[in-house]
Structure 1
Amino acid sequence: MTSGSDNILQFLLELDPFDKLPKSMVERLATVASVKYLAKGEHIAFSALCERRHLYIIRKGAIEQRTSLKKLRSRLGEEDQFGFTFLEPIKDSEDGYQAHAIEDSLLYLIPHAYIIEVCHHHPEFKDYFAAAAKTRLHSAVNCIAKKEEKSLFFRTVGELASENITVADCNDSIKKVAQQMCGSQRSSCAVILQQHAIVGIVTDRDMTHQVVSKGIDTSLPIKRVMTPNPIIIKRDDKVIQAISLMLQYNIRCLPVVEGHNVVGLITTTHLVHNHRTQSLFLIEKIKYASSPNALSALKEERAMVFQSLVESGVSAEIQGQVMTMIMDAFTRRLIQLSEQVLGPPPCDYAWMVAGSHARNEVHMLSDQDSALVLSDKASAADRIYFTHLAMQVCNGLDAIGYPLCSGNYMAAAPKWNQPLSRWKEYYSKWIASPEYNRLLSISVFMEVRCIHGNADFVGELQAHMHQTIYGNPRFLKALTRDAIETSPPLGIFNSLVLEIGGEHSNTLNIKKFALNLIIDLARIYSLSAQGSQTGTEERFRYALEKGALSKDSCDSIIEAFRFITQVRLRHQLSQMKQGKIANNNINPDAFSSFERKHLKEAFKIISDLQSVAKLKFT
């Protein structure tokens, strides 16, 4: 190997994805790689007539990619790669694409044929070199998960489930089922069948609370005391799915099925024996906490849950759902404790959450976005009661680790503690005249969810909001114009959009310049199809279903959202481990080659969808 190819080898061995290939394969690529120098202003042109195709790797310098219409695609710096598109037949829309050197640049060129050879001998690496950015991002997201593939979260339910489960017919007597549950293979649960279909479930607690304590005649059929339509889980589902279901429905056991057959039972006992999931059941502790101070004492366990989820590599969607259920539980318990102190509420009301909390996307930085929707019969005296209630709950959440909203979008603020009719007036005014301040307010309350009280109030308010939006086409245009004012950072990383001044100077705010843009786009596309969903991914999927978004665009933006969210969450965890206060501001120098490459691809996907939204909706 020559000194030149040796330099290339050392460079590739530390560069994603070559660092994951066998060294012998990387050595082969280093020997066939060529070096190309581009002076500032020179360019490489690609067309359908290209015969010699390469994967280009920037060793030094900076490259700007432009389409045949001179539109900027992206700016690339050291260690970045391009030419993926030309590993597959060139599309007409990419004919004439050019790469311009905006600095004197040194490139390494690996012939197309040898990349194909790598994919042939190591098909697991095919996605790393795919022409579609969404495929490369999907591979990157899975790569993070695979590092912890053997963790408990990724084991199947069947591996942990107990085979000790009673199966009974719905017409069997209560006494007979109880005897079966207490038999030689004691079971804490009985699954009830009717003509071989699961129709109910009975636990040992049910036998105590529903039968013994009430003096029920045990000769009656078990269907009289069973819980109908039980939640079940498949044998091949992952443990994290079982945990999520238990938290969501506040249940202690899940029948495990294979096809139509009941094959076992998984309970909280099976899971809490493992320290990595024990903290996930702090919801049970929250439920029975006797004071706000007792709840505040549980905030360290909340941090443990977050760490377990991030380190286990579960999807950002599951992380958000679990952290949301925990925030829900803290909020509900604080409301209950406050009502015990203040007395029962004087009228009907709903505690409404907004923002990431309403989207089921809670993380360690999620602050409080909340409001109170009161009955239209609420008096001035009633309003005073709810002001005290909201102040106690909001201060309690702050003590637990959910910061007060810096914009004061909280139930404790009088403006957001209003009767239902007043809330309808708010939405009508915001939508009719979406100037900046009003657009900001409706952006906060675009996603709302009731977590305590009269859910019909929030449902009625959501219906009013959507009807008003659909009757005012100007609103979607205004929302789109606001959403595309901020662009993702397409530049090379030493020219990113960085914070200027203050404690976060020269860092990238990944929330402001990436995640918020995706959330805004999800709103726009969902509303354009008259959708009422609140979650980011489900909004994109709904827009696809209704034909408002192409499948390629939908898949691409969801993969971008997942990858950027993972980067954000791992950054937050890293800061927590260092004893720092977690934030959304990342020093670009802290990005690995892996993160830098895929973040740029994600930013490009966001920019492309913004361009489409601008043409389509404004």
Structure 2
Amino acid sequence: MENSASNNILDFLIHLDPFDQLPRDIVATLASTASVKYLAKGESISFHAFCEQRYLYIIRKGAIEQRTPLNKLRARLGEEDQFGFTFLAPLRDSEDGYRAEAIDDTLLYLIPHEHILDLCEQHPELHDYFAATAKTRLDSAVRSIVKKEDKGLFFRSVGEVASENIAVAKHTDSIMTVAATMCGKQKSSCAVIVTQGEVVGLVTDRDMTQQVVAKGIDIHLPVHHVMTTNPILINSEDKVIQAISLMLQYNIRCLPVVSDHKVVGLLTTTHLVHNHRTQSLFLIEKIKYANSISALAALREEKQVIFQALVESGVSAEIHGQVMSMIMDAFTRRIIQLTEELLGPPPCEYAWMVAGSHARNEVHMLSDQDSGLVLDDNASEDDRVYFAQFATRVCNGLAAIGYPLCSGKYMAATPKWNQKVSRWKDYYSKWVASPEYNKLLSISVFMEVRSVYGKSELVDNLQEHLHQTITASPRFLSALTRDAIETSPPLGIFNSLVLEKGGQNSNTLNIKKFALNLIIDLARIYCLSAGGSLTGTEERFQYAVKHGTLSQASCDNIIGAYRFITQVRFKHQLNALTQGNEANNNIRPDEFSSFERKHLKEAFKIISELQDVAKLKFVQGP
């Protein structure tokens, strides 16, 4: 018979993640194994690799601070929080010890280690939740944000939705023979051209019209004269969202589907646009043919539809950013083209350079404009007048379609950021040589840049100069690190939003300022320390691992934290939009679920630990 204590524990656990996913009788059995421990304020529990009695600790009331052997704050935990995960692992896999000290009178529920293991044995889906490593727990959390049944088409394999009607021809077949094959039994809009079993080309019905009929090509010639060589392929096991990303990135309509190097099907835009959620992802095609700013502005609402589809599909932060960046690229290019048509051809070579999240291919619903104009060094003063008007029109056009003007005026429309290559090089040289606050602010915006239109070599030249300058100035990395670790993630209790010392108390948490920006800064530092010039957050960490400045375990942990925090951010922004509210980065603590609070604290702890490592590795003494 259940006693009063176990009934109280059951009533608490049954509403707590992940126990709320279990049948009541299973939770009741677990509650009957739990014990109760009271810690007066100031009392503590020590954890070390040789603890003989191991428990999962759940805070019923009160608050706990976890501190390392060097007395550094590891985390602050409050009601419903759980700890002891790392000491649920076998002794050899446990991490170094820490101390859990009550900062208020605290009541704990203790569930023995062996009963948690039994529970995971009966319910394997909980195994990752109670894993000893933070990466495994966060990966599990990312997957849990989006329910499997909500992922729909995006997460189906390409092989499931591809058409089996595909024409296959040899590269020596005549154009007429291939056309007949496409129009025959297969009725395919595309023919895959092979040589000795390898895919070497692609011919579409559009190619037949534009490359053969329009140009009067002899239809008896071998098809390799008109085929597209080295076509983009996709594996049948890949996901539909990956296929859509490829189609958007390379502006293609047909993707041959392969398995074991054999063509097994064809995926076309026609297959995908029948589904209303994927149709919007082909917004780029509409942008390409819009003939005015007002026509482009009419498409701005589709951005939100795409954002919603991506969030609900649970795609990774990396894919989400790539898709949204390709759309912003397309809008930017089309506005530039329309502006050139209006003002006349540009008087000299130039490149439209994007910076910040746009350059990192991490665009999201709240991304504003960060841009610059890089002019050829031969540009005259009259040329500068043209580009001043040009940049203003482009920036205003982007604002009209939903990309806000940068509040800090880091835009090509600002004269300071509309300069010749040589002037941009001077900027970078001065910023790196004297990294005071205002110069670090500027370089943090323009540290990641890429060209989206014009002569890309101008931006390549600029980037090469930047990285050569950084390499020659080791003091710069120290200053950049010192600035990046000045802000700490909130290791506090979300219910009252107690922040780490030096933080600010507020009724909201700015998840961008106190989490995502810190990860982006760390990625930049670790990549630069390895001599890398990559711009994407995840690829920067991976580059650092490859070149020995970051451990694989630390990389896995910080990328897991980045993905989870990004998912939480997007989910809350989507909720605001669907409720007719303005999306932002400020989240009220009471809006976080128990599940989110728990895993966000895990993620924040990972950020804090990597900041500590960066300080030791890269910050030089005075």
Report the TM-score, using the length of structure 2 for normalisation. Answer: 0.97
Residue number in structure 2 paired with 1:32: 33
Amino acid at match of 2:176: K
Q: Is the 8 A contact 2:60 2:79 kept in 1?
A: yes
Q: Does 1:294 align with 2:302?
A: no
Residue number in structure 2 paired with 1:62: 63
Residue number in structure 2 paired with 1:52: 53
Q: Is the 8 A contact 1:35 1:108 kept in 2?
A: yes
Residue number in structure 2 paired with 1:405: 406
Q: Is the 8 A contact 1:496 1:508 kept in 2?
A: no
Residue number in structure 2 paired with 1:559: 560
Q: What runs of 5+ residues in structure 2 fail to find an aligned partner?
A: none
Amino acid at match of 2:129: Y
SS in 2 for 1:351: strand
- Distance of aligned partners of 1:403 and 1:95 in 2 relative to their CA distance in 1, 3 Å threshold: closer
Q: Is the 8 A contact 2:497 2:589 kept in 1?
A: no
Residue number in structure 2 paired with 1:495: 497
Shift of 1:384: 1.1
Shift of 1:134: 1.3
Residue number in structure 1 paired with 2:304: 303
- Distance of aligned partners of 1:427 and 1:186 in 2 relative to their CA distance in 1, 3 Å threshold: same
Instruction: Work out the CA distance in 1 between the residues paired with 2:71 and 2:322.
Output: 43
Within 5 Å, which residues of 2 pair with 1:4-403?
Answer: 4-90=5-91, 94=95, 96-148=97-149, 150-403=151-404
Shift of 1:46: 2.2
Instruction: Work out the CA distance in 2 between the residues paired with 1:544 and 1:96.
Output: 26
SS in 2 for 1:73: strand
Q: What runs of 5+ residues in structure 1 fail to find an aligned partner?
A: none
Instruction: Work out the CA distance in 2 between the residues paired with 1:479 and 1:27.
Output: 53
Shift of 1:184: 2.1
Residue number in structure 1 paired with 2:603: 602
Instruction: Work out the CA distance in 1 between the residues paired with 2:493 and 2:149.
Output: 31
Q: Is the 8 A contact 2:86 2:94 kept in 1?
A: no
Amino acid at match of 1:607: S
Amino acid at match of 1:496: V
Residue number in structure 2 paired with 1:475: 476
Q: Is the 8 A contact 2:158 2:238 kept in 1?
A: yes
Shift of 1:16: 1.4
Q: Is the 8 A contact 2:233 2:257 kept in 1?
A: yes
Higher mean alpha-carbon deviation, 90-99 vs 110-119, is at: 90-99
SS in 2 for 1:127: coil
Amino acid at match of 2:435: P
- Distance of aligned partners of 1:150 and 1:69 in 2 relative to their CA distance in 1, 3 Å threshold: closer
Instruction: Work out the CA distance in 2 between the residues paired with 1:49 and 1:310.
Output: 43
Shift of 1:148: 4.0
Instruction: Work out the CA distance in 1 between the residues paired with 2:144 and 2:568.
Output: 13
Instruction: Work out the CA distance in 2 between the residues paired with 1:340 and 1:325.
Output: 23
SS in 1 for 2:48: coil
Aligned residues: 615
Q: Is the 8 A contact 1:36 1:107 kept in 2?
A: yes
Instruction: Work out the CA distance in 1 between the residues paired with 2:473 and 2:93.
Output: 38
- Aligned-residue RMSD, C-alpha: 1.6
SS in 1 for 2:280: helix
SS in 2 for 1:36: strand
Q: Is the 8 A contact 1:233 1:254 kept in 2?
A: yes
Q: Is the 8 A contact 1:575 1:582 kept in 2?
A: yes
Instruction: Work out the CA distance in 1 between the residues paired with 2:521 and 2:610.
Output: 11
Shift of 1:93: 8.5
Residue number in structure 2 paired with 1:512: 513
Higher mean alpha-carbon deviation, 5-14 vs 471-480, is at: 5-14
Shift of 1:255: 0.4
SS in 1 for 2:128: helix
Deviation string 1:432-457 (CA, Å, 9 cap, x unpaired) is 11111111111000100110000111
SS in 1 for 2:173: coil
Q: Does 1:431 align with 2:432?
A: yes
Shift of 1:254: 0.3
Deviation string 1:484-537 (CA, Å, 9 cap, x unpaired) is 000000011113349x9x9x9521000000000000000000000000100000
Higher mean alpha-carbon deviation, 64-73 vs 482-491, is at: 64-73
Deviation string 1:78-117 (CA, Å, 9 cap, x unpaired) is 1100111111134699555211000001111100010010
Deviation string 1:25-72 (CA, Å, 9 cap, x unpaired) is 212111111111111111112234422111000011000111222221
Q: Does 1:533 align with 2:529?
A: no
Amino acid at match of 2:578: K
Residue number in structure 2 paired with 1:615: 616
Deviation string 1:365-386 (CA, Å, 9 cap, x unpaired) is 0000000000111111111111
Residue number in structure 1 paired with 2:463: 462
Instruction: Work out the CA distance in 2 between the residues paired with 1:196 and 1:338.
Output: 47
Q: Is the 8 A contact 1:148 1:312 kept in 2?
A: no
SS in 2 for 1:236: coil
Deviation string 1:196-239 (CA, Å, 9 cap, x unpaired) is 11111000000000000000011111000000000011111111
Shift of 1:149: 5.5
Residue number in structure 1 paired with 2:579: 578
Kindly report structure 1 stretches of 4+ aligned residues shifted beyond 4 Å.
90-96
Instruction: Work out the CA distance in 1 between the residues paired with 2:289 and 2:449.
Output: 27
- Distance of aligned partners of 1:424 and 1:182 in 2 relative to their CA distance in 1, 3 Å threshold: same
Q: Is the 8 A contact 1:67 1:94 kept in 2?
A: no
Q: Is the 8 A contact 1:134 1:556 kept in 2?
A: yes
Shift of 1:593: 0.4
Higher mean alpha-carbon deviation, 324-333 vs 25-34, is at: 25-34
SS in 2 for 1:151: helix
- Distance of aligned partners of 1:95 and 1:416 in 2 relative to their CA distance in 1, 3 Å threshold: closer
Amino acid at match of 2:473: N
Identity of aligned residues (%): 73
Deviation string 1:528-561 (CA, Å, 9 cap, x unpaired) is 0000100000000000011110011000000000
Q: Is the 8 A contact 1:367 1:402 kept in 2?
A: yes
Q: Is the 8 A contact 1:154 1:238 kept in 2?
A: yes
Instruction: Work out the CA distance in 2 between the residues paired with 1:569 and 1:615.
Output: 33
Shift of 1:617: 0.3
Shift of 1:21: 2.7
- Distance of aligned partners of 1:496 and 1:326 in 2 relative to their CA distance in 1, 3 Å threshold: farther
SS in 1 for 2:16: coil
Q: Is the 8 A contact 2:48 2:97 kept in 1?
A: yes
Shift of 1:604: 0.2
Shift of 1:20: 2.1
Deviation string 1:539-590 (CA, Å, 9 cap, x unpaired) is 0000001111001100000000000001111111111112111110000110
- Distance of aligned partners of 1:377 and 1:49 in 2 relative to their CA distance in 1, 3 Å threshold: closer
Q: Is the 8 A contact 2:321 2:361 kept in 1?
A: yes
Q: Is the 8 A contact 1:497 1:508 kept in 2?
A: no
Instruction: Work out the CA distance in 2 between the residues paired with 1:346 and 1:51.
Output: 77
